[in-house]
Amino acid sequence: MNYSARQIALLVNGILDGDPEVAVNAFGKIEDAKAGEISFLANPKYEEFLYTSGASIILINDSLAPKQKISATIIRVPDAYSAFAILLTKYHETVTQQLAGIQQPAHISASAKLGEKHYVGAFCYLGDNVVIGTNAKIFPNCFIGNNVRIGDNCIVYAGVKIYHDCQIGNHVTIHAGTVIGSDGFGFAPQADGSYKKIPQLGNVLIEDDVEIGANTTIDRATMGSTIIRKGAKLDNLIQIAHNVEIGCNTVIAAQTGISGSTKIGKNVMIGGQVGIIGHLQIGDYSKIGAQSGVTKSTKPNTALTGSPAQDNISGLRSQAVMRKLPELEKRLRELESLVSQLLPEKV
């Protein structure tokens, strides 16, 4: 990476203030960036570093009115965070596009089909009838089972396992250690107390523009498909059970578990360590706070918190009361003592 301020301003459609020819070749945090690095300021809490940063170029929101002189070249944009993300994406694409070919040793079935500009890392296994799209990058130690289809411009990082028959769309990123298509947790209880396994005959369908964090597991459907809709973003260490559907542009934070056959709507935001029981319907645009335990279906635009989860306002009130319980207990005991003193003694 080696870009001038002029080139960067054009790329992010920003307004340049300073030397247009100053160049950068790395990224840095605004508080400790050095010459030759580019940084950004989106959170007002870090504004003090805008005036002391050693960065050569800094992206800032065009609504910000600096209080002091800034030594760096400034590029003003409507949203500095989003503009910086564009630059990071551009850099990442440049790095990954350099990867090409098939490293050895690797096992690729004779019936597998690989698109142009592909990359398959060492110790990968690609089974029968696998289809890999154009510019797809499969990093080392990946297992791609029979009949799996992976679309164009996908990145599958090291150690990912994709079981047979699963379908991956275009522009999907799957981070290291993730398992897609493992068996759903289906066991039928028997009269003798044992459990009989229920075969899981479905698959996992992941649509376009999805990102899946490291060590996440997405179980295949018992029948049909477990579905991750377009634009969804899953964090690390998430469990998605069989026949779950995750709606478009829904985001889910780490350590969340979603039980079988639950349907999550579009543009839902789910915090970390949330647990959702099976066969629920979570309405579009809902927000579920961290560590909530969801036991009932929700309507669209619902905000939930707590365990068991309840609407956000009621949940916050309950939490406020809980904090006062020791004081309330003390007052109750004092009242009981006062009442006992006022009552006449038993003869």
Domains, the chain, in order of start with CATH, read 3-97 (3.40.1390.10), 101-314 (2.160.10.10)
Question: Tell me, what's the pLDDT at 184?
Answer: 93
Question: Tell me, what's the pLDDT at 1?
Answer: 67
On the question of pLDDT at 238 being above 70, the answer is yes
Q: Is 17 left (phi over 0), alpha (psi -120 to 50) or beta?
A: beta
Q: How far is CA 166 from CA 22, 51, 140, 226, 237, in A?
A: 48, 51, 19, 10, 20
Taking the C-alpha atoms of residue 87 and residue 106, their distance in angstroms, rounded to an integer, is 33
The pair of three-digit structure tokens given for residue 290, joined into one six-digit string: 């961290």
Q: Compare 214 and 328 and report the one with higher pLDDT.
A: 214
Question: Tell me, what's the pLDDT at 338?
Answer: 85
On the question of pLDDT at 347 being above 60, the answer is no
Question: Tell me, what's the pLDDT at 90?
Answer: 87
Q: Compare 306 and 55 and report the one with higher pLDDT.
A: 55
On the question of pLDDT at 247 being above 80, the answer is yes
> Is 313 in a helix, a strand, or coil?
helix
Task: Supply the pTM of this predicted model.
Answer: 0.83
Mean pLDDT of the chain: 93
pLDDT digits (tens, 9 = 90+) for 146-183: 999 999 999 999 999 999 999 999 999 999 999 999 99
Confidence grade of residue 339 (pLDDT, cut at 50, 70, 90): confident
pLDDT digits (tens, 9 = 90+) for 34-87: 999 999 999 999 999 999 999 999 999 999 999 999 999 999 999 999 999 999
Average pLDDT over residues 108-120: 96
279 is catalytic: no
Confidence grade of residue 324 (pLDDT, cut at 50, 70, 90): confident
For residue 178, the one-letter residue type is T
Confidence grade of residue 315 (pLDDT, cut at 50, 70, 90): low
Provide the β-strand partners of residue 287: 269, 303
> Is 138 in a helix, a strand, or coil?
strand
Taking the C-alpha atoms of residue 303 and residue 181, their distance in angstroms, rounded to an integer, is 31
Q: Which residues, in sequence order, are CB contacts of 294 under 8 Å at separation 6+?
A: 274, 275, 276, 277, 280, 282, 288, 304, 308, 309
Query: Which of the residue ranges 109-118, 209-218, 305-314, 330-339 would you say has the lowest mean pLDDT?
Result: 305-314
- Find the catalytic residue in 118, 171, 175, 242: 242
Q: Compare 328 and 120 and report the one with higher pLDDT.
A: 120
Confidence grade of residue 346 (pLDDT, cut at 50, 70, 90): low
On the question of pLDDT at 345 being above 70, the answer is no
Taking the C-alpha atoms of residue 305 and residue 319, their distance in angstroms, rounded to an integer, is 10
The proportion of the chain whose per-residue pLDDT surpasses 90, expressed as a percent, equals 83
Question: Tell me, what's the pLDDT at 343?
Answer: 79
* Dihedral sign (CA 18, 19, 21, 27): negative
Confidence grade of residue 320 (pLDDT, cut at 50, 70, 90): confident
Average pLDDT over residues 217-246: 98
Average pLDDT over residues 15-43: 94
Question: Tell me, what's the pLDDT at 188?
Answer: 94
Q: How far is CA 207 from CA 9, 151, 211, in A?
A: 33, 9, 10
How many alpha carbons fall within 13 Å on the CB side of residue 280?
Answer: 21
Question: Tell me, what's the pLDDT at 233?
Answer: 98
Q: Compare 313 and 77 and report the one with higher pLDDT.
A: 77
Confidence grade of residue 329 (pLDDT, cut at 50, 70, 90): confident
- Neighbour-count burial of 341, counting CB atoms closer than 10 A to its CB (0-12 exposed, 13-18 middle, 19+ buried): exposed
